[in-house]
Structure 1
Amino acid sequence: MILDRIQRENDIKKIGADDWNPLAEEIREFLINHISTSGGHLASNLGVVELTMAMHLVFDLPKDKLIWDVGHQSYTHKLLTGRKDKFDKLRKFGGMSGFPKRSESPCDSFDTGHSSTSISAGLGYVAARELLGDKNRVVSVIGDGALTGGMAYEALNNASRLKSNFIIVLNDNNMSISENVGGMSQYLSNIRTAEAYTGFKTGVEKTLSKIPVYGDKVIHQLRKTKSGIKQLMIPGMLFENMDITYLGPVDGHDIPGLIRIFNEAKKVNRAVLVHVLTKKGKGYSPAERHPARFHGAEPFEIETGLPSKKRTKANYSDIFSTVMRKFGDRDPKVVAVTAAMPDGTGLKRFKNMFPERFFDVGIAEEHAVTFAAGLAAAGLKPVVAVYSSFLQRAYDQIVHDVCIQNLHVIFAVDRAGLVGSDGETHQGILDISFLSSIPNMTLLAPKNKWELSDMLKFAVDFNGPIAIRYPRGEAYDGLKDFRAPIELGKSEILYDESEIVLIAVGSMVKIAENVRKELKDIGYQCSLVNARFVMPLDETMVKTAAKEHNLIVTLEENVLSGGFGEKVSAYVAACNFPTRVISVGIPNEYVEHGNVDILRKELGIDEPSITKRIITEYLGTQVY
């Protein structure tokens, strides 16, 4: 295999041009085979094989800095930097990350996981290069979807002031910018960046600038004339008007063409944007036909593209989807907002049935929240469906635009808690801490699928900011006989005994249920409380628990700092109760990628670890 000849970075430069296309096919075959067993981001990686190869052929890593936006499309980059043997443990605990990681390789210039960040990070590298007197190149890759994020435009605004080379690669896999004048655009791009033209232009401007009074006016008029011609003949004027040179569009699967345009881009002494057209899922027909399905794929059968494991039970996103569809029928004021995740959040059915009440704002979480605030202020009932880790990006908007005005915006916080293989950037382990610290915010978490439905109904009828956090994966269908009505700030007593009380939040109720069984098997009396509300805290329940039990154990799938356990401990201490409180949660650290069950065990929040801790720490019995 040609791929076997690549053992480290820059080895691709030893591969002859005749072998480039065969190498690209080998890479695609390798990725399909491995991701079909491990799962991962397939469609995006298949789309950038030639683009990645061309960048590795032109640039010198790790001296030159290659920064991927989001980073889920960096698998080919990892292969070309000598990490082929690590793909067997891709996204597994202790194995290779599915995203760029500086700790993994010096060729990974920046850890990424969320979108719209690469241009800002690249600008930081450029500024450092100028201050330190380095000579390296900086290349930031960003997708057309990520350009809906405001941070990308903030960075472009700053990039326009550069007087040295900075290459931005726009990976456009949706044909969102017209290509009907591509030939003329390529021709003009070649002229503008040719050495003869660039040298002539610089010389003319220097000469004219020496002419008293009129020199600068002549230069200004020439620039205006040139810009007018560009506006008539080429795309990319948004960038050109910002003083960012635009090159392209270019076929993202034509390696020689990509090499030529990157070499042209290196000659520009300012920010230059290279517009590359790629096909998501290229080379694997199921991914080409259904790129969204193969964005973050579970293990699948290569022949059909169908999942290897058939799902038999609904997940929490499915439950949310069903309830939202019903609300769409019942209440014309209910509207749905998502940030480029209609499928992932379960809003696709709502979108199909009520298109006029569905709003996909693109990858723009900050805008999504303030847009929802406007909808609420106008009298509608917006439901913002968003992953927990992405909601972090809109913290300021939640505070200033929703909660200060006490507006009725409903946040459906999906993927709350540990999400597994995507790692640190995607674990939803901070939302309890940051949401429960905001005045006017009400925060709930369901114990099972029926309670999610009940909480959504409660939220729609509520008046004020309200968030419901629920985990990724299969919806728990246990404890179905416990379905007390939802009352503001009231928990649910599942088992009322004595000695020890377990107070669990959301997904941890299932674990607490099993911990209780283990403690009872040993001979201890144990109550179990479904907290339901993180904010407002059920102080009456906590007070009763402290009076009637020797030990309170709180359980949450969130970092301990600022979490539910801290709130309970603070209240018990403020009331001067002697009852001891043990807080079970995630240590104040970022959690790497891996299977969720393995992560829980490593973090000490699985059933055996919690039981052992209770017996060892409180009851004084060593458990072996």
Structure 2
Amino acid sequence: MSEILPTINAPRDLHGLSDDQLQQVAQEVREHIIDTVGEIGGHFGANLGTCEIAVALHSLLNSPLDKVLWDVGHQAYPHKILTGRRDQLQTIRHYEGLAPFCSIEESKHDIMGAGHASTSISYAVGLKEAMRRGLEPDGHVVAVIGDGAMTGGVALEAVGHAGGLGTPVVVILNDNGMSIAPNVGALSRMFNRIRLNPKLWHAREDVETGLTRLPAGIGHVFETFGPHFKESIKAFWAPGLWWEELDWAYIGVIDGHDVRALRRALREALVAERPVVIHCATVKGKGWAPAEEGGLEGMEEWHAAKPQSIVDRKPAVKAARPATSGPAVQSTAPPPPPAYTQVFGEALLAEAVADPRVLGITAAMNSGTGLSILQRELPSAYFDVGIAEQHAVLLAAGMALAGAKPVAAIYSTFLQRAFDQIVHDVCLQRLNVIFAMDRAGLVGDDGPTHHGVFDIAYLRALPNIVLMAPRDEAMLVHMLHTAIAYDDGPVALRYPRGAGLGVPLPETPERLEIGTGELLSEPANARVALLGYGTGVARALAAAELLAADGIAATVADARFAKPLDGALVAQLAAEHELLVTVEEGVLAGGFGSAVLEALSDAGSSVRTLRVGLPDRFVTHGTPALLHAEVGFTPERIAERVRAAVTGRDRVA
């Protein structure tokens, strides 16, 4: 059987193919993903589950006149393959390669840029309503959203609005029982009951007809009770009644790996002229045995594939240690430093064991935030709210009102989604909520939707909140302990992705004095002071060594707190040095360096100040090392800028 995929260079190339040929294309897309992503790494399981959906959609629609919206976008690799990017897939998530999610700059077929979940239905309603008003050529609008993303409140808001408007959009509910980890919550359980019980798939009409056919006049009684009673009886069995009560037509449950069935359902939905949901049951990791046969753990493990993790469409075999004829030789190499996430997870467990008021909250990222440790060892103190960051913060607020010490562990980029709750429900009421912001800074291959670069700026303006950032993993342990012990309002603690610096972890955490920094080195005759915050401290120390080699002595200090700022330390550095340099892994606009400039201005200081941080633009995807080099957040570039400032070759602002 000859391959078809090499002939597919645009969606229109699918239009003349038969159902059997399209099924073959879907399998070839799946194999292309296994071969490519298994070699280079990237999102994996979700994409294997959407091959047939992508093929069915593009075989019937006329993209980009018709709009296909992929929620999150980590399930959109098949879409990318079918829309002219097949031969570029090996560059995905690599620096200057294909974007990890959909990108409107990358392709006219990527209708929305995405990276955060639960947004596609709102986009779809907005697009279609604009079309209905003649602002865009009319076409079909289809949103593909996973059952995990449906736990996000914004998706439910869009469903309610579209039903009220009668907006003729189509939603494909890709139901695989997973997001990254297994889904949580009542809505997820409802979907699982439906997808796992074929007897419910078509029960609704059977129940309605059967009620009126019961013998001995019973059926007539049901008929006379009226439609409300019949609907309540049917609701017990009917899988789609929740949607229909919101004025959506429901089609399902469809086998999401059967192209013929998908196309049949899509044809019906596209001509309905009302909101329609097609409920598809799919398998995350379809066609990849370790995911399919590994159950929920296998699906979670293969959410993403590491580079060189697949060889000849099989999991790569780890190299065995060479046999030795003599006694075993113990390696003298030190173990690699633990990841910040691991250090945080273990420190939080220790705090929760010591203090029953400490509770951990995650928004569908148990392993990504390290809370899987708490989940495993102390499940009574663990809460997963699903993809619902707003609720996570409000849940923490409610716990704090009752005297708990809730720790909301949420990626910096995802905490942005709950900004109003942070302002209105936590800071305004001065509640003792701890925000543990993992992935602060440039996170790498996931790109601009996942970089945690705005939290310093968007939190620093809020009253009543304390902002802190550790320079290393040991300081992370101290700061978590400090945040939990603090009793005068919320604390936000940011720390990076990846391994720590290898410093020893404290046996007993210490409580830091809020708003105090620390001098780390103070050489004689220092003309320059480097004041770092978080990961900026290590950059400052390394830059100081480079400057020392050139005969430029530099003092280095760790601010530790961005709010309240250690004004005394800032004033001392300003008074004793010609140049003050702030170093932070966050946007400069409104960030830590801005806080220092404000403090200097208020104090009437005229010291020259140089701010080092991230530029006023969205930074692309790539390894952190490449991105840091691109934006100048390296010791070498910092030292170069300081040299220029000291010698007068560069103006300092």
- TM normalised by structure 2 equals 0.86
Q: Which residue matches 1:488?
A: 514
Please provide the CA RMSD for this pair.
2.6
Q: Deviations over 1:254-289 (max 9, x none)?
A: 110000001111121211111011000111122332
2:588 corresponds to 1:563? no
CA drift of 1:480 comes to 8.4
Q: C-alpha separation between the residues in 2 aligned to 1:244 and 1:308?
A: 54
Q: Which residue matches 1:94?
A: 96
Q: C-alpha separation between the residues in 2 aligned to 1:5 and 1:183?
A: 40
Q: Which residue matches 1:330?
A: 354
Q: C-alpha separation between the residues in 1 aligned to 2:93 and 2:318?
A: 18
Q: Which residue matches 2:68?
A: 66
Q: 1:485 and 1:271, CA in 2 relative to 1: closer, same or farther beyond 3 A?
A: closer
Q: Which residue matches 2:556?
A: 528
CA drift of 1:336 comes to 0.6
Look up the SS of the partner of 1:80 in the other structure: helix
AA at the equivalent of 2:107: S
Q: Which residue matches 2:212?
A: none
Look up the SS of the partner of 1:97 in the other structure: coil
Q: Which residue matches 1:246?
A: 250
Look up the SS of the partner of 2:628 in the other structure: helix
Q: Deviations over 1:171-215 (max 9, x none)?
A: 11015241466467458789x9xxxxxxxxxxxxxxxxxxxxxxx
Q: C-alpha separation between the residues in 2 aligned to 1:484 and 1:374?
A: 28
CA drift of 1:116 comes to 0.9
CA drift of 1:446 comes to 0.5
Residue of 294, 309, 322 corresponding to 2:302 = 294
Q: Is the 8 A contact 1:144 1:176 kept in 2?
A: no
Q: 1:238 and 1:546, CA in 2 relative to 1: closer, same or farther beyond 3 A?
A: same
Q: Is the 8 A contact 1:189 1:246 kept in 2?
A: no
Look up the SS of the partner of 1:165 in the other structure: coil
CA drift of 1:384 comes to 0.6
What stretches of structure 2 of length at least 5 have no aligned partner? 178-190, 209-224, 322-334
Q: C-alpha separation between the residues in 1 aligned to 2:240 and 2:62?
A: 28
Q: 1:108 and 1:21, CA in 2 relative to 1: closer, same or farther beyond 3 A?
A: same
Say how many residue pairs are matched: 594
2:568 corresponds to 1:540? yes
Q: C-alpha separation between the residues in 2 aligned to 1:496 and 1:367?
A: 46
Q: Deviations over 1:74-115 (max 9, x none)?
A: 000000001012112111121110111111111111111101
2:293 corresponds to 1:269? no
Q: Which residue matches 1:210?
A: none
Q: 1:187 and 1:379, CA in 2 relative to 1: closer, same or farther beyond 3 A?
A: closer
Q: Is the 8 A contact 1:299 1:308 kept in 2?
A: no
AA at the equivalent of 1:128: A
2:453 corresponds to 1:429? yes
Q: 1:412 and 1:307, CA in 2 relative to 1: closer, same or farther beyond 3 A?
A: farther
Q: 1:245 and 1:226, CA in 2 relative to 1: closer, same or farther beyond 3 A?
A: farther
Q: Which residue matches 1:122?
A: 124
Q: 1:222 and 1:51, CA in 2 relative to 1: closer, same or farther beyond 3 A?
A: farther
Q: Which residue matches 2:419?
A: 395
AA at the equivalent of 1:58: L
Q: Which residue matches 2:168?
A: 165
Q: C-alpha separation between the residues in 1 aligned to 2:481 and 2:85?
A: 49
Q: C-alpha separation between the residues in 2 aligned to 1:317 and 1:417?
A: 14
AA at the equivalent of 1:504: G
2:547 corresponds to 1:519? yes
Q: Which residue matches 2:214?
A: none
Residue of 467, 474, 479 corresponding to 2:499 = 474
| Worse-matched range after superposition: 294-303 or 254-263 | 294-303
Q: Is the 8 A contact 1:189 1:248 kept in 2?
A: no
Residue of 143, 154, 178 corresponding to 2:194 = 178
CA drift of 1:552 comes to 0.4
AA at the equivalent of 2:628: R
Q: Deviations over 1:211-241 (max 9, x none)?
A: xxxxxxxxxx987587457535521211101
Q: C-alpha separation between the residues in 2 aligned to 1:356 and 1:183?
A: 36
AA at the equivalent of 2:548: K
| Worse-matched range after superposition: 483-492 or 57-66 | 483-492
Q: 1:18 and 1:236, CA in 2 relative to 1: closer, same or farther beyond 3 A?
A: closer
Q: C-alpha separation between the residues in 2 aligned to 1:520 and 1:527?
A: 10
Q: Which residue matches 1:145?
A: 148
Look up the SS of the partner of 2:578 in the other structure: strand
Q: C-alpha separation between the residues in 1 aligned to 2:590 and 2:491?
A: 18
Q: Is the 8 A contact 2:478 2:510 kept in 1?
A: no
Q: C-alpha separation between the residues in 1 aligned to 2:264 and 2:233?
A: 24
Q: Which residue matches 2:374?
A: 350
Look up the SS of the partner of 2:172 in the other structure: strand
Q: Is the 8 A contact 2:26 2:52 kept in 1?
A: yes
Look up the SS of the partner of 2:90 in the other structure: helix
Q: Is the 8 A contact 1:504 1:554 kept in 2?
A: yes
Q: 1:575 and 1:35, CA in 2 relative to 1: closer, same or farther beyond 3 A?
A: same
Look up the SS of the partner of 2:273 in the other structure: coil
AA at the equivalent of 1:293: E
Q: C-alpha separation between the residues in 1 aligned to 2:270 and 2:199?
A: 21
Q: Is the 8 A contact 1:369 1:394 kept in 2?
A: yes
Q: C-alpha separation between the residues in 1 aligned to 2:467 and 2:164?
A: 44
Q: C-alpha separation between the residues in 2 aligned to 1:234 and 1:484?
A: 57
Between the two proteins, what is the percent identity of the paired residues? 40
CA drift of 1:36 comes to 2.1
Q: C-alpha separation between the residues in 2 aligned to 1:353 and 1:183?
A: 38
Q: 1:308 and 1:438, CA in 2 relative to 1: closer, same or farther beyond 3 A?
A: farther
Q: Which residue matches 1:196?
A: none
2:310 corresponds to 1:304? no
Q: C-alpha separation between the residues in 1 aligned to 2:71 and 2:114?
A: 7
Q: Is the 8 A contact 1:484 1:492 kept in 2?
A: no
Q: Is the 8 A contact 2:249 2:277 kept in 1?
A: yes
Residue of 6, 11, 24 corresponding to 1:9 = 11
Q: Is the 8 A contact 2:338 2:502 kept in 1?
A: no
Q: Is the 8 A contact 2:460 2:467 kept in 1?
A: yes
Q: C-alpha separation between the residues in 2 aligned to 1:335 and 1:188?
A: 42
Q: C-alpha separation between the residues in 2 aligned to 1:603 and 1:33?
A: 33
- TM normalised by structure 1 equals 0.90
Q: Which residue matches 1:465?
A: 490
Q: C-alpha separation between the residues in 2 aligned to 1:489 and 1:189?
A: 65
AA at the equivalent of 1:70: V
Q: Is the 8 A contact 1:10 1:81 kept in 2?
A: no
Q: Which residue matches 1:33?
A: 35
Q: C-alpha separation between the residues in 1 aligned to 2:464 and 2:82?
A: 51
Q: 1:329 and 1:478, CA in 2 relative to 1: closer, same or farther beyond 3 A?
A: closer
Q: Is the 8 A contact 1:494 1:530 kept in 2?
A: yes
What stretches of structure 1 of length at least 5 have no aligned partner? 193-220
| Worse-matched range after superposition: 329-338 or 516-525 | 329-338
| Worse-matched range after superposition: 70-79 or 304-313 | 304-313
